[in-house]
Amino acid sequence: MTLIEVLGYLGAAVIGISLGLIGGGGSILTVPVLVYLLNISPVTATAYSLFIVGFSSLVGGVNYAKKGMVNYKTGVVFTIPAFIAVYLTRLIVVPALPQSWFFIGDLEITLPIGIMVIFALLMIAASYSMIKDKKGPAPDVEGGEKTQKFNYPLIILEGLVVGALTGLVGAGGGFLIIPALVVLAKLPMKEAVGTSLLIIAVKSLIGFIGDVQAGGAINWIFLLTFSGIAIAGIFIGSYLSNKIDGAKLKKGFGWFVLIMGSFMIYKELFM
C-alpha cells in the first residue's frame, strides 16, 4: 500500500470524525478523497460516496434517535421527494450524461471535470454556511409551546433539489438540509441535525441502489472497508464532541473546505 493510499484511508477516519463532531461536513470530503487520494474515477466516486455517506449517516442518525433528537414526521415529508429525485438521477440522468459537455477556449469540459467542478462549487457553498456567524438566536421550539407548522411546498421543493444534487455529485447535502429544517420546519438545531442524518442516510442509500440497478461495477471489499473506518471515526468524533468547542471546530473546518474547494476548481480548470 502506497503512502497516498494510506492517506486515503486516513481520510475515511477524518470523514467519520467530522460527522461525529459537527453532524455534517465529512460527506463533502468523500469524493475528493476517493478521486485524488485513491485514484477512483469521479463518476464511480460519486456512487461510492452515496453508500459511504448513507451508511455512516445511518449510524449517526440512530445515535441521535436513541436520544430522542429525530423528528420523524418532518423527515418523511422531506425524504420522499428527496429519495425519488436522487434515485432517478442515479438511475437515469447520470448514465445519460455525455462524456464531452462544452469547450471554454481550448479547454474541453468533460463529464469527470464537470462533476468535480460542480462538487467544488458545492464545497464552497458549504464552507460559507460553516464559516458565517449566526445573526441572533436560532429558532428553538424544544419547549413544546409552539405547534409545528410545515411549509409543505418549500419543503418538498427543497427535497427535490437536494435529492437531485445528491444524485449528481454524491454529497449528502446536510449543509442544505439543516437550514431548511430549522427555517421551514421550525426544528431546534440538535433535532435538525439528527433528522438530517437520517434523511441523508435514506436518500443516499436509495440513490446507491439506483447505481447498482444501472449496472455499475462495485468493489464491495473496498467500499465496506472504507465505510467501516468512517463509522469508527463517527464514534471517535462523538466522544471528542464533549471535549471540543463545536462552533470553533465547525468554522475551522469550513475554512479547510473552502481552501480545498478552491484548489479543486484550479486543478480541474487550470492545471
Residue in 173, 163, 217, 156 with CA at minimum distance from that of residue 53 = 173
Q: What is the pLDDT of residues 78-127, one digit of tens each?
A: 888 888 888 888 888 888 888 898 888 888 888 888 888 887 887 787 77
Distance CA 132, CA 66 (A): 31
Report the pLDDT value the prediction gives residue 140, as an integer from 0 to 100.
Answer: 47
Distance CA 175, CA 164 (A): 15
Report the pLDDT value the prediction gives residue 220, as an integer from 0 to 100.
Answer: 92
27 falls in which pLDDT band (50, 70, 90)? low
Q: Which grid coordinates are listed for 22?
A: 459537527
Q: In angstroms, what CA-CA distances link 187 with 21, 61, 82, 161, 182?
A: 20, 16, 19, 20, 5
**What mean pLDDT comes out for the span 207-219?**
80
Q: DSSP letters of 228-251? A: HHHHHHHHHHHHHTTTS-HHHHHH
Contact indicator for 67, 191 with CB cutoff of 8 Å: no
Angle between helices 220-240 and 42-66 (to 10 degrees): 40
Residue in 220, 139, 225, 147 with CA at minimum distance from that of residue 187 = 139
pTM: 0.72
Report the pLDDT value the prediction gives residue 205, as an integer from 0 to 100.
Answer: 86
Contact indicator for 223, 9 with CB cutoff of 8 Å: no
